[in-house]
Amino acid sequence: MNKIKFKFMKTTKLMRSALYAAVLIVVFAAFGLGGCDKMDHYLINAPSNLQSRIDSIAAAKPNTGDTTYVNITTAIVGAEDNSSGWWTAFSDYFKIPSNKLLHMEFTNYTSGVNNWNNWNLALTNLGDRAAADYKEYFVLRSDAFGWGGKMAETGSVFDIKMITQDYPKTSDGKVDWDTFRTTMQGAKVTIEIDHSATGNVFVTATAVGTNGITMVETYQQPVSATADIVAFLICDGSHFKMKKAYLIPSKVTAIPDENPVSIEVTGAPAFLEFGNKNFWGSAKATVTFADGSSAQADSTDISFTVIPDMTTLGVKTIIVAYSKTKQGAYGKAVSNYYKLEVTNPVVSLEVTKLPNITTYYYYGTDPILFNTTGIVVTGKYSDGTTGVIPNATLKFGKITAADGAQTALISYVGATKTVTATCPLTLVKGLSQVGANDFSTAWWTAFSADYPVASGSSKTITMYCYSDNLANWHSPCTILRKADKTEYGVVRMDNFGWGNGYPTATRTSDWNWDLFQSGISGSKVVITVTNNGNNTADILYNVTYASGETHFQKYAGVTVDSSDLNCALVTEESYLVITQ
């Protein structure tokens, strides 16, 4: 038998001993199988977990200079039949220190039903969604959409205008969503999240489809310059096969400066009484820069190129200018103007048109916020003339929570005295309430009772919704679940939902999306949940705005267990008064 020579490839010190043992096993096993006539068969008494040890060592990718590989424990994220609903399946948490860039690669799979049934990226302050102080900088969707809350410690605010994309377009210049959905099926996706030490994060997501189309989406936002940030992926009628993740040094060491391109003034007084010279009041100026971002200007950085003559009556024009770049350097100024009227003192007020909502449903004893939409208040001046007083210059009191006739106090604070009027209202007590009267209720913190829905029957719940009208989802959501709280799905009033049973649902509605958000508060909502008896359920919203306009939203065929179906209500930054 010829002499056998062993030659080993260069390995890391960490892996050398384990790989050496593995090679010996393979070599000696080969001797036995080859039947060498001058060598006895060898029995290797290797530990039973040797292979797992070798795999473990191989998986622990070391820090190789500028690249630190991250071990991926959840290789397949979400159900492989794309049945995972929103906020039910997540990737690992990926911590990104300051001055580091996280590089992720994965294959994206989608149900293909909606544009958002693909990857979703959350960027947060902590790697624990259940933590009391967990906060999200933003959630970015693969279809160039997203949302986020203000981070008090950094002032970071999500800005949808900062999303860019080069997705395929139709002949009229709009995004070709059919091609987008096709491209995302099986697309190789790379997401880079650069946590710059400048206090900004830069996201670049590149998807390469099996059809040869490449699509790029970007987003940027201020974040903490020093504290770690955390990223994770979220499924929504989709799943991902993770390939690799690693950290490298940030590519952004300095932020290019941007010039201001426009300034907008909001909240300035529409009129002032003679003798009051505070023509700025509580106004705010928002500056937009060349990169599309915007920020509120500090009042000390605003100049007035035209100062009105406040010693005479009449309409005045005020010109506002701002001359700082995004990073605070002085440059070419941008300007805008607003008008106000200097009038004689107001001596009395009168409600000349009632607000859209004059009947309030309530439960409990907390004061109720007065919705002033539609109200017209007329003032009488010292010279006997009259004029409409803008709502922005009035103060509106809260409504006492008590059954029957009530009033809301309206005040105008003048230069020398305060005048008042009252608005007549009617209050009706409901059966129960979900959410706080001041619209402070956070998501998934306040719920109604559970209502059982027997097989072959329906449950109807009637309520009035009061909302801050700042988002479509500040309105009632319906939860379908078992008696033990295991969820089938959650469906919102605005044609959106999630959950294991949701992908089978068919959605129909006749919403006027131009009016949906502004019409939520004061609307009467009748929700009917029908247990079809065949392991599916339907949910119907019949909505009547305070204006009298009516619309509906329906979800048909949500998968449930008909022998165990309950429904409940949840809401966010709004409250529901249930009347029957």
Rounded to an integer, the average pLDDT of 288-305 is 88
Residue at 432: amino acid letter = S
Strands 376-381 and 458-467: unpaired
Rounded to an integer, the average pLDDT of 150-168 is 77
- Give CA–CA dist 240/79, Å, rounded: 9
Measuring CA to CA, which residue among 427, 456, 447 is closest to residue 532?
A: 456
Which pLDDT score, from 0 to 100, does residue 14 have?
39
Q: Does the CA dihedral 330-332-338-344 come out positive or negative?
A: positive
Q: Kindly state the greatest CA–CA separation across the chain.
A: 124
- Give CA–CA dist 56/15, Å, rounded: 10
What are 39-93's pLDDT values in tens digits? 333 333 444 554 454 444 444 454 556 899 999 999 999 999 998 988 989 999 9
pLDDT tier, 29 (very low <50, low <70, confident <90, very high otherwise)? very low
pLDDT tier, 3 (very low <50, low <70, confident <90, very high otherwise)? very low
Residue identified by tokens 């490298």 is 248
What are 232-259's pLDDT values in tens digits? 999 999 999 999 999 999 998 777 788 9
Ordered by where they begin, the domains of the chain are 13-60 (no CATH), 64-249 (2.60.120), 260-343 (2.60.40.10), 346-429 (2.60.40.3630), 432-578 (2.60.120)
Which pLDDT score, from 0 to 100, does residue 374 have?
94
Task: Name the token pair of 416.
Answer: 């020398």
Quote the strand ranges of 163-234, DSSP E.
164-165, 187-196, 200-208, 214-222, 229-234
DSSP assignment string, 221-286: EE--SSS-EEEEEE-SSEEEEEEEEEEEE-S-SSPPP--EEEEEEES--SEEETT---SSTT-EEE
What are 86-138's pLDDT values in tens digits? 898 999 999 999 999 999 999 999 999 889 999 999 999 988 998 888 999 99
Residue identified by tokens 């007083």 is 389
